Structure 1
Amino acid sequence: MFRFDACLLVILKFFSFRQQFFCDKRHANDFPWKNVRARLQFDEAHLPVLVIQNLAESFVHEIEPLTARELKRAAKRGSEFVRKITPSTLDPEVPAEVWTRSRLDNLATLYGRWWHKFFQRLDWKGGINSAQKLFEKELPLSPDAKVAVKDWNATRENLFSDASIARFLASNETLFHAEFPFSWHRNERSVLEGLIDSIMINRIFGQCLLLDWKTNDVSPSDIEIFRESYRPQLAAYWKAVTEITDLEVEAGLFSTALGRLLLYSAEELQMEWRRLEQLPPAELENEIRPDPASGV
């Protein structure tokens, strides 16, 4: 596996070598550096080794590979160079047996995962009849079948008829993607990456619709609080996809409990992103990552 941090430390060693090679630094500038070539190669342990060769004088100097201590230090300092910020609430990349028991037993989390799997399998081109058959097939696997039926009765009314969704469904040029990954380099030291629940793209019209499925138990009276709590996350999605694709992007939450799509305006998302980008990296990450305990 390529180790950016280890390779960076090896390259830094090259500059140290350049100074150490000459006892008198005054002569260093007289050395024909244009004839010097440096290349990275990997030893048997797949660790990077920098080989420096003077093509004019056939002299080869090999810098020693990193020690275990140096490699550990490089890994520890890796976050100082590039910070990854992930707004998505994803399962940890660890074996299932090390998950905490409370997380596994959290009904809201299990229920949210069930709905997300349902939407991953949804055939948008198949229409409501296809969706109904899929729901009936998946219902026995739901951790809370009674609530699932209630939410589905609300959801099926608007899932295909919502104005924004219907506009994309009406075009044969629309592409549908579930669990859509993205990675946007904000700057030299920050990368925003994540996984969008559902995305519809119509390049003919230069438009894109981001849907984030929310399975929280929310009442109509709490809609504004609900929208506000997820606005930072959707603003991050919106900004990243806008920068990556250069499309006109719409973004919203689809609540299964409410059975409707809650869109954010472009102005609202732009204003929210301007606020977020002023925050320190750690605070930004905390703002855009939703609380897993509140539902997926």
Structure 2
Amino acid sequence: MQIRISLPIVAAVAISILLTGCTAASRKALYTEKAERFYKAGEYDKAKIEYLNVIKIDQGDANAYARIGAMWVDEGVPLRAGAFLTKALELAPNDTGSRLNLARVYLAVGRTSDARKEAMTILEKAPGNGEALLALVDTSRTPEEMSATEEQMAKFPQKDSAYYHLAAAAIAAKKSDLSTAEAALQRAVAADPNFAAAHSALAGLYLARKDNEKAGLELEKAAKLAKARSPETVRFAQFKVQNGAAEEAKAFLANVTKQAPDILPAWPILGRIANNEKKYDDALKLVENALSR
């Protein structure tokens, strides 16, 4: 028995398949455009929704995974960032930004050996990557690791940069040589007065010397220079609370959370302030806001 297939039916099926493909591609383009717009505007909650829509259509879109991972890192939620960054690197192994963020995730959760591997992978291809050099220094625990890090620093091409001086300061501090560390930090600040991490590190040195006045000034500078979603903003607020300036911390964090309501570490600090003020309902709401994310 011979089966006859009508040409109009074949044409209709082909057109349907083409239209479905075009529709998926156009929807992906629309979601991507919206996601990028929200991401660049700092509207992370909205951006995540659109990037997830992209992934539903195309599970091989490395940029969508990378962006979601980066946003979770910025918001201070490394456990949620890890899976997205791992997938991004599986799809795009040369994505330096995602590899650096994954190193930060590993550092945040205590997986220093994994963080070190990621930092070294970056530096092997780009020995002048300052952020990777700092991550490598952060992972240096043993004398062998310290020695290997110093060898890597010798390969760093810009030895007059703030990144190099900050790395040198961190190595000196790990050796308990605070005078050398301070000199290196002063060079880092001179090389780039707007480098928030250098001011934050200088504050850490002053805190080690119990010089709270200087530490506070440097923490304030770091917080003003850094993005709203940054460890520097959280650290400054914590310092204020610990030094009896809870009202200042509350005002500062109110401004930060207005700009970036998704910065997770800010909400528990506000919750503790409310709890200390015996505003227990407010404290519960603030903690619930953090947990809901």
Q: Would you say same fold, with TM above 0.5?
A: no
* TM-score bracket for the superposition, by shorter chain length: under 0.3
TM-score normalised to the size of structure 1? 0.24
TM-score normalised to the size of structure 2? 0.24
Q: Greater relative contact order (Cα 8 A, min sep 6): structure 1 or 2?
A: 1
Q: Larger helix proportion, structure 1 or 2?
A: 2
